[in-house]
């Protein structure tokens, strides 16, 4: 494994285990068996390292989400596809998912939140667009698109958190349960 990749791997692992703010540059370079100048050469700073970790992972994840959120007039199907992307993403890379969720729920002024915010905004915009498009078939949702997007993403994040902590299994059965529960509320 090359030095840059090892720095990314060790930093992601440490950030996910203990939180971005709790991990220092020295600890990262020690875990990767390199020196501080090596980290600064590749990433410029600890923040640059975090931006690279998140940028690489979110680029892949948000592309899958864009494809899943392509609305074709079937809201339950689209929501199911979105849920599958979240659950499969968490199963595929639990370290990243734990890290990005921790950063999303960090204080707004924190460096970690500031780095992750743009990626979560992109996700929110994609899901909100689905609900906006669905208003044509489901007029009762008009004016509620933002709240519905926030509720749906929040539900998915909650279940992902449960899955990461072994309180739930992120499988097809849970996808169906989540969609059924969510639909019951939005169609009434």
91 and 181 part of one domain = yes
Report pLDDT digits (tens) over 73-103: 999 999 999 999 999 999 999 999 999 999 9
The answer to whether the beta carbons of residues 75 and 137 sit under 8 Å apart is yes
Domain range spanning residue 122? 53-186
Q: Residue 120's CB: how many other CB atoms inside 10 A?
A: 18
149 and 177 part of one domain = yes
CA–CA distance, 160 with 179 (Å, rounded to integer): 14
71 and 32 part of one domain = no
3 and 63 part of one domain = no
State if pTM tops 0.75. yes
Residue 40, φ and ψ in degrees, nearest 5: -65, -30
> For the domain that residue 2 is a member of, what is the CATH number?
1.10.10.60
28 and 112 part of one domain = no
40 and 98 part of one domain = no
Furthest CA-CA distance within the chain: 59
59 and 135 part of one domain = yes
148 and 67 part of one domain = yes
Between 187 and 56, the higher pLDDT residue: 56
Burial level of 11, CB count in 10 A (0-12/13-18/19+)?
A: buried
72 and 13 part of one domain = no
CA–CA distance, 121 with 174 (Å, rounded to integer): 25
Count of domains forming the chain: 2
9 and 79 part of one domain = no
> For the domain that residue 127 is a member of, what is the CATH number?
1.10.357.10
pLDDT above 60 for 188 = no
57 and 25 part of one domain = no
Report pLDDT digits (tens) over 145-171: 999 999 999 999 999 999 999 999 999
Final residue belonging to a domain, choices 12, 27, 44: 44
């Amino acid at each position: 494994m090359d030095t840059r990749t090892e720095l990314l791997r060790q930093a992601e692992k440490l950030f996910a285990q203990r939180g971005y703010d709790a991990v220092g540059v020295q600890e990262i370079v020690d875990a990767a068996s390199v020196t501080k100048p090596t980290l600064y050469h590749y990433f410029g700073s600890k923040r640059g390292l975090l931006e690279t970790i998140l940028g690489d992972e979110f680029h892949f994840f948000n592309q899958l989400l864009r494809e899943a959120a392509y609305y074709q007039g079937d809201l339950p199907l689209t929501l199911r596809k979105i849920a599958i992307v979240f659950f499969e993403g968490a199963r595929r890379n639990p370290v990243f998912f734990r890290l990005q969720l921790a950063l999303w729920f960090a204080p707004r002024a924190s460096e970690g939140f500031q780095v992750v915010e743009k990626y979560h905004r992109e996700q929110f915009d994609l899901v909100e667009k689905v609900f906006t498009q669905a208003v044509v078939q489901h007029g009762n949702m008009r004016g509620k698109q933002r709240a519905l997007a926030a509720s749906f993403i929040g539900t998915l994040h909650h279940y992902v958190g449960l899955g990461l902590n072994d309180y739930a299994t992120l499988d097809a059965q849970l996808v169906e349960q989540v969609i059924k529960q969510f639909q019951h509320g939005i169609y009434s």
